């Protein structure tokens, strides 16, 4: 169905260059250092978007801003809060494994440096507007080929890394942030993860079977004045890039973020700091509303000489974080490696204890009011 009109026009766009003064464009460009443009018929505006330093490009950008987002008229109330999970219009499982959507890879860029341990890729797929998703949801991908029993591969889930209107602002794409899984097994042989390698190897124009969207745990709170604390390790950054684009790179008639967004991101090396330039741009533009802290585990330590994990960085702000957690409109989101949850609980236990509060009990209460949201794997 999709007609590839022109293909593969590799372009070198200078780092930090901005085509139109619109922050979403600037940032996408800064992560895509070598941009491969594939013009698919519904995507003519990408060409405009990338090339032009003129009015039509700005229009393409502001088009994104006019797309309707969530209705935000709720004032946070202590006990009865309207659940984000019951919100109207959230689609789940539109595409099931038996009848998946076939998307096409529009671009695929490695976003970790050459010396990073492992590779992570930012991948954009066309959806033609057929896969409607919200910030915080995931999609499934069914990799090509068959497993060792001759059956088609099972789907793997991936957190969506773009906001609901997508990286191009036209509601016709969905993006992922995928780490290539490679490890040495017990017999000393190199094993490549099936789906992550399928995804990281996709070339523009290649097809991928997509299911979903799924997931309600990581949906954003409706309150535009909320404090949103985001805790990510590695590719766990995906849903937060989605949140942050909506908050800081887009204009929505019915959602103008004016709370505090605080992102903690833990990665092994500075060459694996995902989407760093985008986040720094957001901070520069919104110093009052955005805080950004990195934990670079293999390069930094705390003053006791301990490895700088995300919880180690959080501990520097322990009292402040605890005060924020006592507020009714503070929402914590955690995404990434399973191990991080335990580490974060440990610092919270001691903080809560100072106020005579049992952290595990308190956390249950926060979970019930959707203020503590976890998706780790």
Ligand X SMILES: Cc1cc2nc3c(=O)[nH]c(=O)nc-3n(C[C@H](O)[C@H](O)[C@H](O)COP(=O)(O)OP(=O)(O)OC[C@H]3O[C@@H](n4cnc5c(N)ncnc54)[C@H](O)[C@@H]3O)c2cc1C
List contacts with ligand NAP (CB under 6 A).
118, 159, 179, 233-236, 238, 266-268, 272, 297-298, 309-311, 335-337, 339-340, 343, 375-377
Give the integer Cα–Cα distance in Å for 18 and 221: 31
Q: Which two tokens stand for residue 126?
A: 């066309």
Residue 25 annotated in active site: no
Site for ligand NAG in 163-202 (CB under 6 A): 185-187, 189, 191
- 375 counts as binding ligand X under rule CB under 6 A: yes
- 75 counts as binding ligand NAG under rule CB under 6 A: yes
Assess contact for 222 and 84: CB atoms under 8 A: yes
Catalytic residue among 41, 83, 350, 377: 377
Q: Which does 309 bind (CB under 5 to 8 A by kind): ligand NAG, ligand X, ligand NAP, none?
A: ligand NAP
Q: Which does 48 bind (CB under 5 to 8 A by kind): ligand NAG, ligand X, ligand NAP, none?
A: ligand NAG
Assess contact for 314 and 264: CB atoms under 8 A: yes
Q: Which does 297 bind (CB under 5 to 8 A by kind): ligand NAG, ligand NAP, ligand X, none?
A: ligand NAP
Cis ω before 213 (30° cut-off from 0)? yes
Q: In terms of CB distance, is 20 or 200 closer to ligand NAP?
A: 200
Instruction: Count Cβ atoms within 10 A of the Cβ of residue 135 and give its class: 0-12 exposed, 13-18 middle, 19 or more buried.
Output: buried
| Helix (H) or strand (E) segment spanning residue 318 | helix 318-325
Catalytic residue among 135, 250, 278, 375: 375
Closest CA to 323 of 293, 360, 348, 345: 348
- 193 counts as binding ligand X under rule CB under 6 A: yes
Q: In terms of CB distance, is 212 or 236 closer to ligand NAP?
A: 236
Give the integer Cα–Cα distance in Å for 173 and 319: 41
Catalytic annotation, residues: 158-159, 335, 375, 377
């Amino acid at each position: 169905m999709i007609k590839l009109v022109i293909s593969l026009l590799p372009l070198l766009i200078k780092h930090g260059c901005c085509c139109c003064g619109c922050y979403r464009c600037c940032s996408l460009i800064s992560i895509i250092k070598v941009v491969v443009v594939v013009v698919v018929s519904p995507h003519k505006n990408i060409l405009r978007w990338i090339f032009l330093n003129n009015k039509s490009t700005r229009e393409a950008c502001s088009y994104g801003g006019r797309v309707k987002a969530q209705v935000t008229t709720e004032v946070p109330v202590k006990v009865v809060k309207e659940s984000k999970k019951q919100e109207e219009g959230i689609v789940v499982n539109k595409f099931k494994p038996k009848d998946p959507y076939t998307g096409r890879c529009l671009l695929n860029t490695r976003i970790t440096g050459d010396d990073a341990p492992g590779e992570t890729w930012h991948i954009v797929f066309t959806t033609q507007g057929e896969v409607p998703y919200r910030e915080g949801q995931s999609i499934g991908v069914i990799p090509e080929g068959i497993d060792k029993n001759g059956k088609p591969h099972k789907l793997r889930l991936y957190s969506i890394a773009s906001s609901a209107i997508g990286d191009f602002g036209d509601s016709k794409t969905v993006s992922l942030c995928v780490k290539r899984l490679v490890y040495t097994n017990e017999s000393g042989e190199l094993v490549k993860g099936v789906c992550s390698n399928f995804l990281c190897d996709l070339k523009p124009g290649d097809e991928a079977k997509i299911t979903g969207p799924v997931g309600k745990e990581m949906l954003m709170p409706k309150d535009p004045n909320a404090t949103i604390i985001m805790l990510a390790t590695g590719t766990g950054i995906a849903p937060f890039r989605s949140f942050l684009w909506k908050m800081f790179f887009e204009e929505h008639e019915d959602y103008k973020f004016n709370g505090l967004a605080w992102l903690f991101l833990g990665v092994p090396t500075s060459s694996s700091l995902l989407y760093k330039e985008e986040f720094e741009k957001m901070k520069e533009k919104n110093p009052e509303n955005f805080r950004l802290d990195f934990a670079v585990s293999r390069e930094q330590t705390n003053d006791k000489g301990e490895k700088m994990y995300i919880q180690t960085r959080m501990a520097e702000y322990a009292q402040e974080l605890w005060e924020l957690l006592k507020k009714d409109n503070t929402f914590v989101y955690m995404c990434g490696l399973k191990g991080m949850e335990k580490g974060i609980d440990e610092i919270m236990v001691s903080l809560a204890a100072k106020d005579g509060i049992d952290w595990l009990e308190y956390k249950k209460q926060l979970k019930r009011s959707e203020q503590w949201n976890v998706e780790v794997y």
